[in-house]
Amino acid sequence: MAYKYSFEGFNKETMARASSQNVAISLKKSVETAKALKGKKVSTAIDYLQKVIAQKAVVPYTRYNAEMGHKRGKGIMAGGFPVKVAEEFLRLVKGAEKNADNLEISGELVVINASVRKGTGRYHYGRYMGRKMKSTNVEVTVGIKQWLREIL
């Protein structure tokens, strides 16, 4: 069965993408991380994700921020360090960058779209009924910066 991508304006000549399905990461933290990555240069996004993994940079939480602590930084009220999510996004951004190199897409690459969807529900063995595991589908699309100006 073919995977259905969420980004519909995909252009094969100027864009590349990478995706992973049913990853055991939090959907809510993934939404916030994806929002923080959109529009960044690929090199800046990789550096930012490495800082999040090292807990030097904060991912601002804007939607799912109930009872979240404040974090230091300009324009950040609630935030966190989603290390596991950042590792997955880092893997996908690097993969999309390599896909762009294989497709011979030259120019300054930008994260055009980072989308997150709920994955399939699976149950983990446990007492009585068990527990439902977290599962998330993640997709990252990178493209040339000139193309981004045409859309906006």
Helix H segments across the chain? 27-37, 42-53, 83-102, 145-151
Domain ranges of the chain: 16-151
Q: What global pTM score does this model have? A: 0.87
Domain 16-151: CATH superfamily, name plus number? Ribosomal protein L22/L17 (3.90.470.10)
Cα(32)–Cα(122) distance, rounded to whole angstroms? 23
- Least confident span in 45-54, 73-82, 141-150: 141-150
Q: Could you read off the pLDDT of 68-95 as tens digits, one per residue?
A: 777 777 777 888 899 999 999 999 999 9
